[in-house]
Amino acid sequence: MEYLGSCLCKGIKFKVIGDFESFYLCHCRYCRKDTGSAHAANLFSTAAKLEWIKTETEIKIFQPHKSNHVKAFCTNCGSALPNLQMDGKLLVVPAGCLDTKLEKRPCAHIFISNKASWDDSLEEIKKFKRFPE
């Protein structure tokens, strides 16, 4: 499989060649902080290859001190980007940065012991197709 992706400003574009072994919704404190949301949605692969197609803006890597958490992002728009971890053995791709339709569904919620207090029964709240009027 081949997946295309980009950042919000389109200054960075990439291609992932191969399949993802897992897809997790992570509720750890690091993922909640770096997404500003209830959880991160990350795809993981030990076999897929990452190819940068366009890098008009800089890619920054941030890792909190004494953690295994890694975040790559565009220095222009702040969008989360793919990164290699575990000495290049693990490719982690934020699902939201993909432009190619993703058929894979999340495998599990992880680190739910760190779940936000307001992240409960969200399927029960109102839904709007666009911003509510």
Examine residue 122 and state whether it is found in any structural domain, yes or no.
no
Residue-wise pLDDT for 21-67, tens only, equals 999 999 999 999 999 999 999 999 999 999 999 998 999 999 999 98
The answer to the question of residue 52 being in a domain is yes
CB burial of 21-58 (b: ≥16 within 10 Å; e: otherwise) equals: eebbbbbbebbbebbeebbbbbbbbeebebeeeeeebe
Q: What is the CATH number of the domain that holds 80?
A: 2.170.150.70
Report residue 122's pLDDT band, with 50, 70 and 90 as the boundaries: confident
CA separation for the pair 70, 78 (Å, rounded): 14
Q: What percent of the chain has pLDDT over 70?
A: 100
Contact present, 94 and 42 (Cβ < 8 Å): yes
Judged against a pLDDT cut of 90, whether residue 133 lies above it is answered with no
pLDDT, tens only, 2-22: 999 999 999 999 999 999 999
What confidence score (pLDDT) does residue 77 get? Answer: 96
What's the total number of domains in the chain?
1
Asked if residue 127 belongs to a domain, the reply is no
- pTM comes to 0.92
Give yes or no for residue 107 having a pLDDT over 90. Answer: yes
By residue range, what is the domain housing residue 107?
Answer: 2-116
Domain assignment present for 126 = no
